[in-house]
Structure 1
Amino acid sequence: MRGISVWASWAPIMALGGLAVGAAALEQERAECPFYTTTTIYMPTTVYVTATEPPTSSDSASGTSSGVSATTTSSLGDVVPSTSSSASEGITSATTSSSAVPSTGVSLSDSGTASFTASLSTSTTAVQEPTSTQVPTSEPVVTSSVTSGIISQFSDEWCSWFTYRPPSPPPIFKGYKNAIYFTNWGTSGNNSYQPQELPVSELTHILYAFADIDANGTVKSSDAFADVGKRYARDEPHNRARGHHAYGVVKQLYLHKMHNRNLKTLLSIGGFDYSPKFVPVAADTGRRRVFADSAVRMMADYGFDGIDLDWKYPADAEQSQHFVLLLKACREALDRFSFQHRLPYHFLITVASPAGPVNSHKLDLVGMDPYVDVWNLMAYDYTGSWDNSTGHQSNLYRSPHHPSATKLSTDDAVRYYEGLGIRSSKILIGVPTYGRSFESTSGLGQAYAGVGSEGGGVLLYKTLPRPGAREMWDDEAKASWSYNDVTRELVSYDTPRSTLYKARYVRRKKLGGAFFWEATGDRGGAASLVNTMSKTLGWLDESPNHLWYPMSQYDNIRWGMPGA
Structure 2
Amino acid sequence: MHLIYFQELGLKVLFIVIIQIGYLNAQQDCLETQFRCKTGTCIPKQWVCDNDPDCSDSSDEESCRRTDDNTRGCPDDNFQCSNGVCVNNAFVCDGDQDCLDGTDEQCEIKTFRRICYFTNWAQYRNSEAKFTPDNINPDLCTHIVYAFARLEGKKLVFTEYNDEKMYKEFNGKKNKTRGVKTMLAIGGWNAGSKAFSDMVATPENRMTFILSTMEFLRKHNFDGLDIDWEYPTLRQGKMEDKPKFALLVKEIKEAFDMEAQKSLRRRLLVSAAVPTGRKVVDSGYDIPTLSKYLDFLNLMSYDFHGGWERKTGHNSPLFGSSKDVGSANMNTEKAAKYWVSKGTPKHKLNIGVATYGRSFVLADPVNDFGIGAPVTGPGPKGSFTQEIGFYSFYEICQLQNDGKGKIYRDEEQMVPYYVKGDLWIGYDDEDSVRTKAEWIAREGYGGSMVWSLSLDDFGKKCSSSVVPFPLTHTLSSTLQKIERDKVLNLTSSTTRKILPKPTTHRHITPTTVTTTTSTTTTTMKTPTTLSPIPGATTKLWTADLHYETAPNKIAPPPIWAPNELVYGKYSFSCRRKPFGYFQDPNNCNKYFVCHMGRTFHYRCPSELRFNPKKITCDWADSVTCDDDGRPTNK
Partner residue, 1:426: 348
Partner residue, 2:112: 176
Partner residue, 1:377: 299
Q: CA deviation at 1:420?
A: 2.2
What secondary structure does 2:303 align onto? coil
The equivalences for 1:534-549 within 5 A come to: 534-538=476-480
**Do residues 295 (structure 1) and 213 (structure 2) align?**
yes
Partner residue, 2:184: 267
Q: Whole-Å Cα distance in 1 between the matches of residues 201 and 290 of structure 2?
A: 15
Q: Whole-Å Cα distance in 2 between the matches of residues 482 and 402 of structure 1?
A: 19
Change (3 A) 1:405 1:498: farther
Q: CA deviation at 1:295?
A: 1.7
What secondary structure does 2:144 align onto? strand
Matched letter for residue 316 of structure 2: S
Matched letter for residue 184 of structure 2: L
Residue 455 (structure 2) aligned to one of 505, 513, 521: 521
Q: CA deviation at 1:351?
A: 0.4
Q: Whole-Å Cα distance in 1 between the matches of residues 356 and 436 of structure 2?
A: 16
* Cα deviation digits, residues 194-250 of structure 1 (max 9, x gap): 2121121121111001001012x111111141x22xxxxxxxxxxxxxxxxxxx322
**Do residues 252 (structure 1) and 169 (structure 2) align?**
yes
Q: CA deviation at 1:493?
A: 0.7
Q: CA deviation at 1:541?
A: 9.1
Partner residue, 1:445: 372
* Cα deviation digits, residues 133-166 of structure 1 (max 9, x gap): xxxxxxxxxxxxxxxxxxxxxxxxxxxxxxxx99
* Cα deviation digits, residues 447-488 of structure 1 (max 9, x gap): 21121341021111111143532111111111111112x3x1
Residue 388 (structure 2) aligned to one of 456, 470, 475: 456
The equivalences for 1:105-116 within 5 A come to: 109=54
Q: Whole-Å Cα distance in 1 between the matches of residues 269 and 212 of structure 2?
A: 15
The equivalences for 1:140-219 within 5 A come to: 172=107, 173-190=109-126, 191-215=129-153, 217-219=154-156
The equivalences for 1:2-41 within 5 A come to: none
Matched letter for residue 136 of structure 2: L
Matched letter for residue 512 of structure 1: G
* Cα deviation digits, residues 402-444 of structure 1 (max 9, x gap): 5468651111111112212321111111111111110133322
Q: CA deviation at 1:513?
A: 0.8
Provide TM-score, normalisation by structure 2: 0.54
Q: Whole-Å Cα distance in 2 between the matches of residues 108 and 530 of structure 1?
A: 48
Change (3 A) 1:319 1:92: closer
Change (3 A) 1:505 1:529: same
Q: Whole-Å Cα distance in 1 between the matches of residues 186 and 393 of structure 2?
A: 25
Q: Whole-Å Cα distance in 2 between the matches of residues 110 and 502 of structure 1?
A: 53
Residue 223 (structure 1) aligned to one of 160, 173, 195: 160
* Deviates further, 307-316 or 249-258: 249-258
Change (3 A) 1:342 1:407: closer
C-alpha contact (below 8 Å) 1:352/1:376 kept by paired residues:
yes
Over alpha carbons, which structure has the higher Rg?
2
The equivalences for 1:130-145 within 5 A come to: none
* Deviates further, 460-469 or 361-370: 460-469
Q: Whole-Å Cα distance in 1 between the matches of residues 307 and 388 of structure 2?
A: 8
C-alpha contact (below 8 Å) 2:291/2:345 kept by paired residues:
no
Q: Whole-Å Cα distance in 1 between the matches of residues 121 and 322 of structure 2?
A: 40
Q: Which has the higher strand share?
A: 2
Partner residue, 1:473: 409
Partner residue, 1:497: 431
Structure 2 gaps of 5+ residues are 1-8, 11-45, 62-99, 382-386, 459-465, 485-634
C-alpha contact (below 8 Å) 1:178/1:202 kept by paired residues:
yes
* Cα deviation digits, residues 519-542 of structure 1 (max 9, x gap): 111024447111001111116999
What secondary structure does 1:269 align onto? strand
What secondary structure does 1:464 align onto? helix
Partner residue, 2:473: 531
Change (3 A) 1:493 1:311: same
C-alpha contact (below 8 Å) 1:428/1:512 kept by paired residues:
yes
Change (3 A) 1:384 1:370: same
The equivalences for 1:500-511 within 5 A come to: 500-511=434-445
C-alpha contact (below 8 Å) 1:175/1:539 kept by paired residues:
no
* Deviates further, 203-212 or 402-411: 402-411
Matched letter for residue 354 of structure 2: P
C-alpha contact (below 8 Å) 2:359/2:389 kept by paired residues:
yes
Q: Whole-Å Cα distance in 1 between the matches of residues 280 and 473 of structure 2?
A: 31
Change (3 A) 1:459 1:516: same
Partner residue, 1:71: none
Change (3 A) 1:109 1:502: farther
C-alpha contact (below 8 Å) 1:211/1:269 kept by paired residues:
yes
The CA RMSD over aligned residues, in Å, is 3.2
C-alpha contact (below 8 Å) 2:116/2:141 kept by paired residues:
yes
What secondary structure does 2:377 align onto? coil
What secondary structure does 2:240 align onto? helix
Q: Whole-Å Cα distance in 2 between the matches of residues 209 and 200 of structure 1?
A: 16
The equivalences for 1:355-394 within 5 A come to: 355-362=276-283, 363-394=285-316
C-alpha contact (below 8 Å) 1:392/1:406 kept by paired residues:
no
**Do residues 346 (structure 1) and 267 (structure 2) align?**
yes
What secondary structure does 1:212 align onto? strand
Matched letter for residue 173 of structure 2: H
C-alpha contact (below 8 Å) 1:389/1:404 kept by paired residues:
no
What secondary structure does 2:378 align onto? coil
Q: Whole-Å Cα distance in 1 between the matches of residues 140 and 55 of structure 2?
A: 39
Change (3 A) 1:170 1:300: closer
Q: CA deviation at 1:170?
A: 7.1
The equivalences for 1:299-338 within 5 A come to: 299-315=217-233, 318-338=240-260
Change (3 A) 1:252 1:310: same
Q: CA deviation at 1:262?
A: 0.4
Change (3 A) 1:224 1:189: same
Q: Whole-Å Cα distance in 1 between the matches of residues 318 and 251 of structure 2?
A: 35
Aligned residues: 370
Matched letter for residue 197 of structure 2: V
Q: Whole-Å Cα distance in 2 between the matches of residues 293 and 423 of structure 1?
A: 29
* Cα deviation digits, residues 41-94 of structure 1 (max 9, x gap): xxxxxxxxxxx99xxxxxxxxxxxxxxxxxxxxxxxxxxxxxxxxxx9xx955x
Q: CA deviation at 1:184?
A: 1.1
C-alpha contact (below 8 Å) 2:418/2:426 kept by paired residues:
yes
Q: Whole-Å Cα distance in 2 between the matches of residues 494 and 284 of structure 1?
A: 43
Partner residue, 1:552: none
Partner residue, 2:624: none
Partner residue, 1:547: none
**Do residues 409 (structure 1) and 328 (structure 2) align?**
no
Partner residue, 1:561: none
Q: Whole-Å Cα distance in 2 between the matches of residues 511 and 440 of structure 1?
A: 36
Percent of aligned positions that are identical: 28
Change (3 A) 1:407 1:195: same
Provide TM-score, normalisation by structure 1: 0.61
Q: Whole-Å Cα distance in 1 between the matches of residues 323 and 148 of structure 2?
A: 39
Q: Whole-Å Cα distance in 2 between the matches of residues 300 and 481 of structure 1?
A: 44
Matched letter for residue 272 of structure 1: W
